[in-house]
Each structure stands twice: as structure tokens, then as C-alpha cells.
Homo-oligomer: A and B are copies of this chain.
Amino acid sequence: MEYKFSDKVSGLKASAIREILKFTADPEVISFAAGNPAPEAFPKEEIAKLSAELFRDDPILALQYSVTEGYTPLREFLKGWMSEKGCFHPEFDDLIVTSGGQQANELSCKVLLNEGDTLLCESPSFIGSLNAFRSYNVNLVGIDMEEDGIDLEKLENALKTEKNVKLLYLIPNFQNPTGRTMSLAKRKAVYELACRYDFIILEDDPYGELRFAGTNVPTIKSLDTEGRVIYSSTFSKLISSGFRTGFCSAPAPIIQKIVVCKQVSDVHSNIWAQVISHRFMTTVDREAHFNKLRAIYREKCGLMCSYIDNGFSDKITYVRPEGGLFIWCTLPDSCDMNAFCTKAVQEYKVAVVPGNSFNIREGDVSHSFRLNYSTPTNAQIEKGMEILSKMTKDMLD
């Protein structure tokens, strides 16, 4: 029979990155296309120990149904931790544990937007969130980025011209895919626009703890006095991606609606992972662990950047990231980016992600590609970057 799908999903496609990842099944291909944490970044011994203790002391806690809001001790810990960081305002915020940061972003859109309402975001932006928003048939409008974050003039222009702007989605720290960080001045300006034009900001911060250079910039949530910011984050890059344990701090009425929507989506997140996350954060020296992660990514990022600086054609430009997992390289306008990426993977056996995967509007031109340094080994970075260096020089110089 012929199947008819709902309008909101009929045009929805799987992430384009997955298409590229198919090439990486070829063992000859070196992949800079993924976004997985380094395997050595997972605290596997500590998790194994905490899990064994949990099954020894309280197995039913790990196996029985739990509450939608999240494991209470983890929620209480997160409220305190986020308060310290200015990301939870006890006087008006509440907090929910979600199935990864992804679920927090998806449900924020579901509870706030009707079909056709406008959701603004940085352009380019994280494809997973973009597709989540698309799956609710909203009017998704991208705002160009500058080196220090979203273009304020273009943002205000969109606020004046687009109808029913309900939400602005931002990844202020080490943005995916650009690796860029929004300046404090822009964070303040964006928050002021939210107050003036009456919309909500969804601040997605999966990489905030992974700063390995430069100085910390306050979150937009920490500037929130009116209850206009939803802050989402995750343990995916800090403890385990496979856990699917994220969280979301937001004004209590918004959390209340997210709770109801999460209840009908998956009842609650895997409780074993929630208990382990809580015990890890409260019984292990977490700052020492985070410092270890920062050291791993500082080294890998530095290694990759040294090849861009010394090996790549000078016609390729990039901004050196101060944290996170990605580097965004831009080719000269004369170069066909898609042809470049296809040639890289098919001829040179090195996979990178074409920049147009992160476009807001299909058909927009991109001259950039994304490199990931967290997943490959140092040896793979060395080998793959040497190949790419030669390729860029052959093609561009």
C-alpha cells in the first residue's frame, strides 16, 4: 500500500552527516566527520565501579520505573551545580533531566511553537536541532554568524520582518559546526532583544565545560532576570554519550509543560544512567576528570590546527576554537566546496562534513567544511591532515 505521512515529517530527511558516515565504514577512510567524544574521555573504570556498587546495594532502583522529572538526587545536584554557574535561578526556574540535550531542545520547540511560528537560529547550526525544529513544521529562519557570534543587525531585522517569532536557538560556546564562541557583548545584546521583542532564548550548551583555552564567557542564562532563557546541557561529552542523560533549566511554567511532553514521549530517561551520573558527579573528583578531558581535546585540537597552520594552503581560513570538538574551515569563493569534500573522501580517503549540511535553507551556498578532532586518534589526525594538506595545496595553490 501507499503510505501517507503527516505534513510535518513528510519532507524530513535523516541527517546528511549520516550519509557521509557511510563512507567511513570503509576501513581505509580516515574520518574527521563524526562528533563522538574521544573513547579515552569516558571514565570507564569509575562507571564500572559505580554500576557494580549500585547493583550490589540497590538493584531495584536501577531497574524499576521512575519519575518523569528525573532521579530526585540528580535533579537536586543539578539545581545546585547550575545555581553555582548562574544557570539556575531558584526564584523562578525549575529543572528536568532529559534523554540527552537533544530531547530538551526538541521539547522546547514542541511546547512553545505552533506550526508556522518562527524559530530563529544561527546559520549554520547543529543539524540535529534543526531537524527537530523542522519536525514541528515551524518557520525556521537562519541568521548569519560573525566571528564573535550571531549578526545582531540581521537578527533585529528578522525580528522586525518575521511573523510570530517565539524562540531563538543559540549554541554560544564552541558552536557546532563553527567552533565559534559568542562574545559577552553579543550575549547581552541578544538578551536585551529578547526582552524588547518578547521571545524566548533556547541556549544549548553541550560543550561549555570543554574550554581548553581563553577565558570563560558568562552564559546567557546567567543574565536572565525576566525568565526568558531555556538552558540545556548534557553529560554526553562529560561522562557518557551512550547514557542519553541531559538536562534543562528553565522558568518553572516551561519545565512543567516539558515534563508533560516528556512523560508522553519516553515516560522517563534510563534510570541506571541517571543514578550513575549522580554518583559520578558527587563522589568522583569531577574537576580533575574535566581537566583530563580538556587536556585531551587541547592536544588533539592543537595537533589538527598545527597542520592547518603549517600544511594547508593559505587560501583556507579558520578561527582557532577555544573548546568543544570542531574546527570550521572556509575555502576561497572560487572553490566548489561540495566537489572538494567529495574528492577528499573518494580520492584521498579522508572524510570531512560539507558545510551545507548545516544550512538552514536547502540550496544555500556554503564554502566551508567541518573537521572533528575528538574522535580520531592522534595518529589518524597526523595522517589525515597530511593528506588534506597536500590536497589543498594541489587544488588551491
- A204-237 contacts to B, CB under 8 A, are 226-228, 236
- Contacts A55-B44, A115-B115 given; does A9 touch B64 at CB 8 Å: no
Q: Specify the chain B residue showing the minimal Cβ separation from A117.
A: B6
Q: Which single residue of chain B is at the shortest CB-CB distance from A256? A: B14
Closest Cβ neighbor of A254 among chain B residues: B3
Answer whether A15 and B263 are a contact pair too, CB < 8 Å, given A3-B253, A99-B99.
Answer: yes
Residue A267, interface by CB 8 Å: yes
Residues of B contacting A114 in the complex (Cβ-Cβ under 8 angstroms): 6-8
Residues of B within 8 A of A15 (CB): 263
A48 contacts which of B55, B99, B268 (Cβ < 8 Å)? B55
- What size tier do the contact residues of chain A reach? 35 or more
How would residues 105 to 148 of chain A score, 1 for a CB under 8 Å from any chain B CB and 0 otherwise? 01000111111010000000000100110110000000000000
Complex Cα–Cα for A377 and B254 (A): 38
Contacts of A61 in B (CB 8 A): 242
- Number of chain copies forming the complex: 2
Contact with B along A33-61 (1 / 0, CB 8 A): 00011010010100110011001100111
**Given A114-B6, A257-B9, A266-B244: A60 in contact with B39 (beta carbons within 8 A):** yes
The distance in angstroms between the C-alpha atoms of A112 and B244, with both chains bound, is 26
- Given known A63-B243, A227-B1, contact A263–B131 (CB-CB < 8 A): yes
A1-31 CB mask vs B (1 if < 8 Å, else 0) is: 1011111110011110000000000000000
Tell me whether A42 and B59 are in contact (CB under 8 A). yes
Inter-chain contact B63/A55, CB cutoff 8 Å: no
Asked if A100 is an interface residue, CB under 8 A from chain B, the answer is yes
Within 8 Å by CB of A37, from B42, B64, B131, B226, lies B64
> Chain B: which residue is nearest A244 at the CB level?
B270
Knowing A135-B110, A266-B266, say if A3 contacts B251 (CB, 8 Å): yes
Bound complex: CA A234 to CA B8 (Å): 27
Please tell me if A158 contacts chain B, counting CB pairs below 8 Å. Answer: no
Contact A36 to B51, CB < 8 A, known contacts A14-B263, A251-B3:
no
- Quick check: is A358 within 8 A (CB to CB) of the other chain? no
What's the Cα separation between A135 and B136 when bound, in Å? 12
Q: How far is the CA of A48 from the CA of B61 in the complex (A)?
A: 13
Measuring CB to CB, which residues of chain A are less than 8 angstroms from any residue of chain B? 1, 3-9, 12-15, 36-37, 39, 42, 44, 47-48, 51-52, 55-56, 59-66, 99-100, 102-103, 106, 110-115, 117, 128, 131-132, 134-135, 166, 198, 226-228, 236, 240-244, 251, 253-254, 257, 259-261, 263-273
In the complex, besides A48-B55, A64-B240, 19 extra interface pairs with C-beta distance below 8 angstroms are A1-B251, A4-B112, A4-B166, A6-B111, A6-B114, A42-B59, A42-B63, A42-B64, A44-B60, A52-B52, A52-B55, A62-B242, A100-B266, A103-B266, A106-B265, A131-B260, A131-B263, A244-B268, A270-B270
